Amino acid sequence: MKKTAEMKGLLDPSLMRKTIVDAFRKLNPGSLWRNPVMLVVEFGSILTTIIAFISAFQHSGFWFNLQITVWLWFTVLFANFAEALAEGRGKAQADSLKKARNDAIANRLLPDGSTESVGATSLVKGDVVLIKDNEIIPSDGEIIEGVALVDESAVTGESAPVIRESGGDRTGVTGGTHVLSGTIHIRITAGMGETFLDQMIAMVESSSRRKTPNEIALEILLIGLTALFIVVTLTLRAFAGYMNVTVAAPVLVALLVCLMPTTIGGLLPAIGIAGMDRLIEHNVIALSGRAVEASGDVSVVLLDKTGTITLGNRMATEFLAAEGITEQQLMESSVLASLADDTPEGRSIVTLAKQRLDIRGRDIRAPQGSTFVPFSADTRMSGIDYGNRHIRKGAVDAIEQWVKENGGQFPETVHALVDGVGREGGTPLVVSDGASVMGVIRLKDVLKQGIKERLSQLHVLGIKSVMITGDNPLTAAAIAAEAGIDDFVAQARPETKLNLIRKYQSNGSMVAMIGDGTNDAPALAQADVGVAMNAGTQSAREAANLVDLDSNPTKLLDIVEIGKQILITRGSLTTFSIANDVAKYFAIIPAIFAAKYPQLAVLNVMHLHSSASAILSAVIFNALIIPSLIPLSMRGVQYHPSSANALLWRNLLIYGAGGLALPFVGIRLIDLLLVAIKVVR
């Protein structure tokens, strides 16, 4: 069903009409110079056109020269058609994306607290806008206050609305999405033309797509082969003259075009563009073509736990008081330490405590003269200071160090509580009042749906998965086991992630990193493939080279498969292109020399009718094979997880042997058809 839908998309009448026009437009040498192989074919076509025009007045070989000329022009047009079709699909996607952009009216906040209505196009980085129910988010930004239910279907295609809120790692919002309910303040982080939607549109329109290193290397190879065959053809002309064999210029041009790797030369741009389009179909923005290609060689994947493997909304479920401390005392201290904590975890602690204390609906205020201590990645704790009390809430090792610095001892009974929470897959937060440990708050992490099943497929691809988290080792081990992760690193700081990536890279591994928080930014920038969740922070998205609009970490599997598919498709069609040139040697070489040297007729293994039909059949097959392979280059060669050796043999068997055999059959059938319809004698 999927292939049928793809073919219907390729055969869309409006797309086909535009593609045909674009194929002719690309005949302009100023446009074709980016494809040197086809540029040489075009120059050859121009030469044979001139010769055919002259021969029309000389009444010598006009019909043969005309046929050669027509099919050489078709060769160029078919190559242009392949590229134009890939670009056309991308531009069609871009047109649909542009509909998601809305010149909305934004309520920009002024320094005095009032608002002014301005067009979305006039917003600049740093502006703060107020957005309420049923309003369009005018541009990319980060929520700095409030929480809202956002419909992102216009951008991601996902119908289910999502929650975006200040604090934590789900602050990012995308221009063109729709606030269903809630009131939020957004700080604009992208100017006009710089939003992710703009980047997405620019990428799928293909004109700004940069060639990847692998594509450039292959293009250099094709240019080298083309130059080699130009020399061979010119040399052959000299040898033929020495052997008293006259070779007409159109025949030499036909020989050159058939010997050059025109098949892969014509399809190479389409393969790259179609690969990027497939990435867009999975709602992934590629900010670097190099990253897409590198994803095909990834061997290690580093995943941040919170917001990537888990939903990120850890909820407080239980208060476990230390020995000598009542549950009410623990809850009161926990609430005070969480009043300034605007994260989902902090709010859930306050909510649970109010339920247990039966004070629902009432505000809890901090004591007068209090000073809040915000959470930081370095200290990994937060709290409140007032009077002689210094209440802290945070990671186990951070609170343990804090207690010791204040002259206290961390009770073994609390260690036992922490271990118990960790073994059950929860996340323990410890609360202390100065040197006194009050107890433990149990937070429950929830795995993202389908994460275990998708990550298990990484094993099949031979990719090692490593979870990185700031949690204690017991909690990390429980989550890793539940998600099916190969390895984990617990109690990690931002520099831990960075150093781990460098360690794997120094061992020759290609590393992919998935993250969504500000503390993930250095690691995302260092990784060979950095995938940021669109719902994450702006700094994470700026550091990454791929952005997942669906904020789904399992998307990495799709990214890796697309990367491998691009590499395999390019390699398979290159193998096919080089292999199918062999049959053309057996068609054209005997046709040139057999008349003078009949013994060379033994090379006519296809038993072609005549020299003219042999040359013309080879040229026609060379032209027709390009459009025949367009669906494959657009869809990509299917990737089957297996070893590199197995992939090599499969490639040689199908595209090497197939590319060798098919032209013998194809050229012979074309020869029979030409004779049957009396195109040649």
- Please, what are the domains in the chain? 1-92+204-281+560-677 (no CATH), 105-138+140-189 (2.70.150.10), 299-309+448-544 (3.40.50.1000), 313-446 (3.40.1110.10)
Q: Is 326 annotated to bind ligand?
A: no
* CA pair distance 389, 398, nearest whole angstrom: 18
pLDDT at res. 373: 86
Q: What is the pLDDT of residues 601-641, one digit of tens each?
A: 777 788 888 888 888 998 999 999 988 888 888 788 877 76
pLDDT at res. 125: 85
360: confidence class by pLDDT, cuts 50, 70, 90: low
Asked if 32 contacts 39 with a C-beta cutoff of 8 angstroms, the reply is yes
Which uninterrupted H or E stretch holds 442? strand 436-444
Q: Is 520 annotated to bind ligand?
A: yes
Would the pLDDT of 210 be above 90?
no
Instruction: At 624, list the tokens.
Output: 């027709």
Asked if 275 contacts 293 with a C-beta cutoff of 8 angstroms, the reply is no
- Burial label for 641, CB within 10 Å (0-12, 13-18, 19+), is middle
Q: Is 377 annotated to bind ligand?
A: yes
Q: What is the pLDDT of residues 123-157, one digit of tens each?
A: 888 889 988 888 888 888 888 888 888 877 655 54
Residues 391-405 have a mean pLDDT of 90
Indicate yes or no: pTM above 0.75: no
220: confidence class by pLDDT, cuts 50, 70, 90: confident
Asked if 600 contacts 593 with a C-beta cutoff of 8 angstroms, the reply is yes
Residues 220-233 have a mean pLDDT of 88
pLDDT at res. 363: 61
Q: Is 363 annotated to bind ligand?
A: no
* CA pair distance 156, 385, nearest whole angstrom: 44
Higher pLDDT, 172 or 391: 391
pLDDT at res. 621: 92
Q: Is 397 annotated to bind ligand?
A: no
Higher pLDDT, 234 or 445: 234
- What is the sign of the dihedral through the CA atoms of 261, 266, 271 and 272? positive
Higher pLDDT, 212 or 346: 346
Name the phi and psi angles at 583, rounded to 5. -65, -30
Residues 386-415 have a mean pLDDT of 90
Q: Is 62 annotated to bind ligand?
A: no
pLDDT at res. 2: 41
pLDDT at res. 313: 67
Give the residue numbers annotated as catalytic, written as ranges. 304
Q: Is 345 annotated to bind ligand?
A: yes
Q: Is 7 annotated to bind ligand?
A: no
* CA pair distance 144, 138, nearest whole angstrom: 15
Q: Is 305 annotated to bind ligand?
A: no
- The b/e string for 521-548 (b: 16+ C-beta within 10 A; e otherwise) is bbbbbbbbbbbbbbbbbbbbbebbbbbb
% of the chain with per-residue pLDDT over 70: 85
Instruction: At 39, list the tokens.
Output: 């540029």
> Residue 178 forms beta bridges with which residues?
136, 151
Name the phi and psi angles at 390, rounded to 5. -130, 90
Q: What is the pLDDT of residues 422-481, one digit of tens each?
A: 777 777 899 999 889 999 999 877 777 777 887 787 777 788 889 888 777 877 888 888
The lowest-confidence range among 127-131, 269-273, 409-413 is 269-273
3: confidence class by pLDDT, cuts 50, 70, 90: very low
Would the pLDDT of 520 be above 70?
yes
pLDDT at res. 208: 43
Q: Is 341 annotated to bind ligand?
A: yes
Highest mean pLDDT among 4-8, 135-139, 301-305, 406-410: 406-410
Q: Is 393 annotated to bind ligand?
A: yes
Amino acid identity, position 332? E
- Burial label for 173, CB within 10 Å (0-12, 13-18, 19+), is buried
pLDDT at res. 173: 83
The lowest-confidence range among 156-160, 179-183, 190-194 is 156-160
Average pLDDT, the chain: 80
Higher pLDDT, 271 or 667: 667
Q: Angle 234-237-243 (CA atoms, 0-180°, nearest 5)?
A: 150
- The b/e string for 463-489 (b: 16+ C-beta within 10 A; e otherwise) is bbbbbbbbbbebbbbbbbeebbbeebb
Higher pLDDT, 438 or 283: 438
320: confidence class by pLDDT, cuts 50, 70, 90: very high
